Structure 1
């Protein structure tokens, strides 16, 4: 079967590696254009190392882009982390069409920050969807879904790199096997309904210490490593990463203690132990180290 791999970053590279390990016939690799002054995408770099033809059109909405996809004479296109919109005519150019990976249990959490949101909402499960995309935003018939637990202390990085990334690579290969076997669409459930959530941006990662300790902790987990939850100390921004939830009462936003294991801050109905932070203009560092350097002490107020 002639395969086009369309994707980018480490996930796209991992899918391509798996295909080549299996001896699959990858006839082309497509990715977003390399930005001037930026390093080459890992997928593009790997594909070139393997001598595969690489194509990076700025848009897939042109007649030239459609002709390009048709020229591959492909049986299927596998979309592994694609940010550029690909219109129907291009998706349908391969004989069996195009299927795509999305890191949520669609139709829940459609959109670009699909891993952040369930963590921020305090959910205990998430998963991935392989589907046949249409012109909507993460919409189309579902081919396969797999789920996983969100541990009570797991961060965005934990859920993606330890679970959704390896599960997703395997699911892409399993989906290819289903296409090869003639199981083109597993069932007719579609993705139009449910939630479409936009980027989990910096403004959503600002911590409100008057909220419950659960809400604060979930925000920090959902934004670790990106975009980084944040608060202010004397009006200066401080990003927060590794943390833990503790019991205790007090005034929300007040520093309860500064110790070797970190800085404990009061939220509503509980406390947050900050273990690793990044001050504005600085590097990530142990919270205790930052506190000592900044002169932070018990009784100081965060978020004001």
Structure 2
């Protein structure tokens, strides 16, 4: 089939390469404009290396994107890691429409930060969905889904890179082949069961030391590696990563430093303790706990969240 691929980053590049390996014809690639500084997008590099036309409209809503898509005469549009809004006048142009990869079991966790919120809410499973694109946000008919477990100590980063990234590349290819064979389903979503969460960014990354320790740990896991769970200490903003949780009875105030170890900080939480192995501050950047300890000299009894 003649495929127009819209995407970015390593995921988009891997989808591009895998589709070509399976004999699909990619007639054009859409990816974000080049950054002022830094490396080119991996998808753009892969397309250029293969001699496939690359289009980089400032926004997919711009008239030039519609004209470029129309000129490709594509059979199918494939959205592989898209953060821009693709309008109907673009995604409806391919003869068979367009499909999109989404890292959750739709209709649960619609939105841009599906993996983050699945972890933050303590879900025991998540997955991915390939769906037919429509005018809503992740509301289209389901083509296929794959389920994965969320381990009790996994982070957003480990779930994505170890599970949903590689499984997602294979799922996109499988979906395209189902469409090519004329056997791709269109299963309506149960909109009554849908959930939608906002982007997991700096606006929502603040830690609440009053919630139960396990929930706080889930929040830290869900914000790892981005945006990083945020608290305060000595009047400055601090982010936590690489945490571990232990249920324990104690009488300490949540946020209080209980132990300054050689490679971690142990901090009180409601109904348990957190062991923090990596932190970020404005002056140090993201560092191991031992580097934070050496530079800042935290003391037992000091409190985060003040």
Same fold by TM-score greater than 0.5: yes
Tell me the CA shift for residue 257 of structure 1: 0.6
Change (3 A) 1:153 1:223: same
CA deviations 1:111-161 (Å, max 9, x no partner) are 111110010111111111110111111111111111101100001100100
> CA–CA distance in 1 between the matches of 2:99 and 2:190?
13
TM-score in terms of structure 1 length: 0.95
Q: SS state of the match for residue 275, structure 1?
A: strand
Specify the alignment match of 2:293 in structure 1: 291
> Do the aligned partners of residues 157 and 66 (structure 1) sit closer, same or farther apart at CA in structure 2, a change above 3 Å counting?
same
Preserved CA contact (<8 Å) 2:212 2:271: yes
Match of 1:96 in 2: 96
Match of 1:5 in 2: 5
Superposition TM-score, scaled by structure 2 size: 0.94
* Residue 117 (structure 2) aligns with: 117
Distance 1:290 1:59 in 2: 41
Provide the rounded CA distance (Å) in 1 between the counterparts of 2:288 and 2:146. 36
Q: State the shift of 1:39 in Å.
A: 2.8
Q: Does structure 2 retain, via aligned residues, the 8 Å contact 1:258–1:288?
A: no
Match of 1:241 in 2: 241
Alpha-carbon separation, structure 2, partners of 1:57 and 1:106: 29
- Structure 1: runs of 5+ lacking an equivalent: none
- Shift of the 63–287 alpha-carbon distance from structure 1 to 2, 3 Å rule, reads closer
Instruction: Give the secondary-structure state (helix, strand or coil) at the position aligned to 1:35.
Output: coil
Report the equivalent of 1:228.
Answer: 228
1:153-302 to structure 2, matched below 5 A, reads: 153-189=153-189, 194-248=194-248, 249=250, 250-302=252-304
Which deviates more, 278-287 or 20-29? Answer: 278-287
Please identify runs of 4+ aligned residues in structure 1 that moved more than 6 A. none
RMSD: 1.6
Q: Residues 35-90 of structure 1, C-alpha deviation per residue, up to 9 Å, x if partnerless?
A: 32343211111211221110111233344432321211111111101122222232
